Structure 1
Amino acid sequence: MELHVLVGLFGSACYVIAYALVQLRKLQMTAKSYACLNIAGCVCSLYSLSFDFNLAAFVSQAFWLLFTLVGMCPGNRTA
């Protein structure tokens, strides 16, 4: 398996783990670790997309990363 595929799978795992932890109430959506898992997922997915490009997936990932970073800004956090 190629490296970019493994990196993309790792990114997917980050998303799934973050979502599972929130649903199991082990992690709050306002936690920095939740945002970091989302950022790792985005970055890994974007890296993978740089080898096997898909415009729809790229746009989705770019906005996911943008909104996660905006949400991490001190003025936008409630907890």
Structure 2
Amino acid sequence: MIKVYYRGSSVFSRRAFSWFEKNNINVQKQQISKVTSGCLIKLLQHFDKRLTAILKHEGKSSSEVENTPKHETSFPQ
């Protein structure tokens, strides 16, 4: 099962959920505004890359993000 985090009921969310349904893919929907900090930390622990690799950077192109200095980030176990 795929867990999809979405923001509100935007046209993009509706299209994505429609596509999953059309392709018989089961998804668990989770509004991003209802995610707790504990759940987010648990989710981020599954990533083996640094935190900067998965964050959205407003106003930066992907090449600028790749050249941004990386900061080590650790999460509680």
TM bracket (short chain)? under 0.3
RCO higher in structure (CA 8 A, sep ≥6): 1
When Rg is computed on C-alpha atoms for both structures, the one with the higher figure is 2
Which has the larger share of helix? 1
Please report the TM-score for the alignment, with normalisation by the length of structure 1.
0.27
Please report the TM-score for the alignment, with normalisation by the length of structure 2.
0.27
